[in-house]
Amino acid sequence: MSARGQNSGQASGQPTWGAYLDDLVGEHGSLAAVSERLAATHNWREEVESITRALRRLKDRGSLPGGKWGDRLLRTFGLPHSVDARLRFMGSYHSRFVDLPVPLCSDLVQLWDRPPTSESRPGRLWLSLARATLALRAQQPDEARVHLHTAKASATGEPAAQVEVALGESLLVSRERPNVAADVLAEVPAWLAQIHGDDADCLRARYIGQRSHALNHAGAVDEAEALHRALPDGPEIHPFARSRRANGIAYGRHRHGDREAALHHARLAARHAGDAGHVRLRAMALLMIARVSPRSPEGDEARQRASAIARALDDATLLARCAASERDRG
């Protein structure tokens, strides 16, 4: 939150009220200017000097609850753009945050899940989404539901977060009632229309993946593959989205017995994932190679590499998929 050279707690990566106020001072020129803005929002019912003294006291509170003045600051100024970007990074499944080991991710979320971040709506929203993803990776569905419920309460007006919540809920439902999981996604197209850039590419690919899962489960393999083929593809599309597209096509070709085409697309999925540094996504593509060619040197190597990634990430869900791949080979 603070500029380089300021020693307000941000150097260690820890959010504090001091770091937050330093950022506001850097943007507005002085603590008095920040106080004047607060005074103006309340029709000058309080003296600027009195507000300034209160903010100086708040600055020394570290990561303790901010009380009245912390709440007024967050409602008036929101979070700095850099902090909001960090929170979105942790709360987005398609970011490279999921390519870190689960214990490290948990430590980072815990570090940021404190005032002032946790007392802001974006903080509660994106940190809850991050915790939901971690619970899913740890195979703790009940805990994931709790965090998704918390995120949903703060997601209104944030289309990307609304899509994240819907995708998480659909994933949980699909494990018990795959035929109705698509119902959870009914509003996603409208939200996607409001999102642009890389987030739009990645969220759309994830949405199609969820819809295709239900279709494949129902035996509509051609329709599921067609959805993936209809996704945009090209160098301007984020590699995460291209990897998900290729992996979906690989599965469809595999179900049709078209081994060469399935392998081609599975290899493409692994390459695209590697291009973006998405090691977890790369492991999923490697497992597709192993599925298509289970008893070949390439398939065995792919399975071993995916297992090595899963162990390095301490990812229970990925480890379970690797174990299932090993059973399928036998």
pLDDT at 330: 74
**Residue 236 confidence class, pLDDT cut points 50, 70, 90:** very high
Distance CA 35, CA 47 (A): 9
Q: Which tens digits make up the pLDDT trace of 262-316?
A: 999 999 999 999 999 999 999 999 999 999 999 999 999 999 999 999 999 999 9
Distance CA 226, CA 135 (A): 32
Helix 159-174 with 81-91: angle, nearest 10 deg: 10
CA distances, 104 to each of 15, 32, 87, 250, 319 (Å): 17, 39, 15, 32, 17
**Residue 190 confidence class, pLDDT cut points 50, 70, 90:** very high
Query: What is the model's pTM?
Result: 0.89
pLDDT at 13: 54
CA distances, 18 to each of 10, 11, 74, 116, 285 (Å): 9, 12, 13, 10, 44
Mean pLDDT of all residues in the chain?
93
Query: Would you say residue 7 has pLDDT above 60?
Result: no
Q: Which tens digits make up the pLDDT trace of 13-69?
A: 568 999 999 989 998 999 999 999 999 998 899 999 999 999 999 999 999 999 999
Distance CA 70, CA 16 (A): 11
pLDDT at 2: 37
pLDDT at 161: 98
The mean per-residue pLDDT over the stretch 153-166 comes to 97
Question: What domains lie within the chain, and their CATH numbers?
Answer: 10-78 (no CATH), 81-195 (no CATH), 205-330 (1.25.40.10)
Which helix H or strand E contains 167, and what residues bound it?
helix 159-174
